[in-house]
Structure 1
Amino acid sequence: MSQPNAPLIGAGNTRRAARESLSGAASRKVERPAPLRQAVYEALLDLIVNRTLKPGQHLVEIELAEHLGVSRQPVREALQRLQTEGWVDLRPAQGAFVHTPTDEEADQLLSVRNVLETHSAKLAAEHATAEDVAELKALQREGVEALKQKDVERVVAANAALHARITRLSGNAVLAEMIATVDRRVRWYYAPLALTRGKDAWNEHAELIKAIADHDPEAAGRVMNRHTERTRTAYQAHIEGNESR
């Protein structure tokens, strides 16, 4: 999944960019007694998913270690694990870089998400109680308010929480596990779209919640299918727009 031919920025600039990204992020010291390797891995993954560390950015071990308040060894181990999972590219004689997803990777993942979440929405419409619907509406209000404030992190978190709640309402543990495996990567792809998709996405959420409240599986599946497909199309347009600059 690495991209050895991707253009590189000068070493000084990349190190400066890394320092600025980390200094601008909320301080996150790794807390013990959580297993150190796991804690560092989770912390770095969060920084990648929320795009504090951006695709293509050079990752400097000593700077990451200082930011997290740990030694370089667990950072090195976490980077190796992140490379195995496709979040980081380790390039010989160049170092570690946040992975830049290819168009094909993104399209495949968002296609799978469409299928899984469409089925999830249908099942949620069959099982949701009035209390469940009230919780979905509360998450909807949180997302709309975050959008008004143009708070990308809050919008992404509210979007993920709403979709996760619908998944739990499906009552299908296997389906929930499968969706969970793609959730973080979906959040990673969604972050640049959170504001541009904004109003349309949350209007679609409202329509979806209504279908679930009405216990209409076909309508819920149809709305979710359209919703996730529009996100997929918006991501493609976002990538094409960046490439044309």
Structure 2
Amino acid sequence: MGLRGGVVRTPGVMNAARACGSPAREALRRGGRRAIKTGLYTISRHMTELTLGATHRTLRDEVTSELRRRILSGELAQGERLVEDRLAGALGVSRNPVRESIRVLAAEGFIEVVPRLGATVARLSAEEGEELFDVRMAIEGLAARLAARKRSPSSAERLRQVLDQAREAVDGGRLEQVADLNTAFHLAVGEAAGNSYLSLMMKPMLLRAQWVFSQTAAARGPHSWSEHLSMYEAIAAGDEDEAQARATAHVAAARRSFLAAVDRTRKHPND
């Protein structure tokens, strides 16, 4: 999601604007609240004429994605107070979608809302991190085992593509992209497992895991990539036991890295 002129600009909105023709594109270029409303109204009217298979994200969804991204990347730090007016101004939207997005992110556990005090970015304690890793050990080990059992050329190719992209991101030092691709790899393993109940559990868990990973991405990036490669090799070979063992070892290594980071923060809180 990009921002220009204080207005939220997303691939989905811009693509829809292109489909609508020059009036909507020009409205989005001019920026400002009136322009964005005009552009979105034109886009919305056009979208009703598209097929039922087309997708369209609401402004609330776009704002939620952007705020979640800023929390995961650390742009919005843990414990930071969230003021609706400031966020609305920074994103070029009204307060309503910001307020709705805060509710969504509070339900996901990324934001804490205290009556009469307002909203702040949640803090991820060492204890919560430990609980998360306990669950990951069980779920991701199972996901890797099932992915090896149900392996297919298409699922193996998807994992390989994510690995190649992650290698480039690690080499280029693009840490936010590394964190995104780390999550994408684990989600791809979950999809390869072919279990709908497992998939339902994995996405919210992995978003929390990305929050943890973002704090250690600089140190963990290269190691995480090599561990993912090892998991991929076992899954592609159809070795269920080895795939599960490597996935569990990978989560255990991530746990050690997180706890080491927490320990450093406790010893040097101002660093």
* Interval containing the TM-score (normalised by the shorter chain): 0.7 to 0.9
- Seen in structure 2, the aligned counterparts of structure 1 residues 206 and 80 have a Cα distance that, compared at 3 Å, is closer
- Seen in structure 2, the aligned counterparts of structure 1 residues 214 and 47 have a Cα distance that, compared at 3 Å, is same
Specify which of 151, 156, 162 is matched with residue 174 of structure 2. Answer: 151
TM-score by length of 1: 0.82
CA distance in 2, matches of 1:167, 1:80: 27
Question: Which structure 2 residues correspond to residues 155-194 of structure 1 after superposition, within 5 A?
Answer: 155-194=178-217
Q: Deviations over 1:211-236 (max 9, x none)?
A: 11211000000000000111012111
Q: Deviations over 1:75-115 (max 9, x none)?
A: 23332443344222234665422111111111111211121
Is 2:74 the partner of 1:51?
A: yes
Is 2:264 the partner of 1:227?
A: no
- Seen in structure 2, the aligned counterparts of structure 1 residues 204 and 84 have a Cα distance that, compared at 3 Å, is closer
**Unpaired runs of at least 5, structure 2:** 14-39, 45-56
Specify which of 235, 240, 249 is matched with residue 217 of structure 1. Answer: 240
Name the SS for the 2:218 alignment partner.
Answer: coil
Specify which of 111, 122, 138 is matched with residue 145 of structure 2. Answer: 122
Contact 1:111–1:232 (CA<8 Å) still a contact in 2?
no
CA distance in 2, matches of 1:128, 1:85: 31
Q: Match of 2:8? A: 29
Max Rg structure: 2
| More contact order relative to length (CA 8 Å, sep ≥ 6) | 1
**How many corresponding residue pairs?**
221
Identity rate, percent: 30
Q: Deviations over 1:21-74 (max 9, x none)?
A: xxxx94161754544444433332222122221112222222210122111233
2:111 is aligned with what amino acid?
Answer: V
Name the SS for the 1:53 alignment partner.
Answer: coil
2:148 is aligned with what amino acid?
Answer: A
Q: Match of 1:22? A: none
TM-score by length of 2: 0.75
CA distance in 2, matches of 1:173, 1:93: 40
CA distance in 1, matches of 2:101, 2:153: 43
The CA deviation at 1:186 is 1.0
Is 2:86 the partner of 1:63?
A: yes
- Seen in structure 2, the aligned counterparts of structure 1 residues 133 and 65 have a Cα distance that, compared at 3 Å, is same
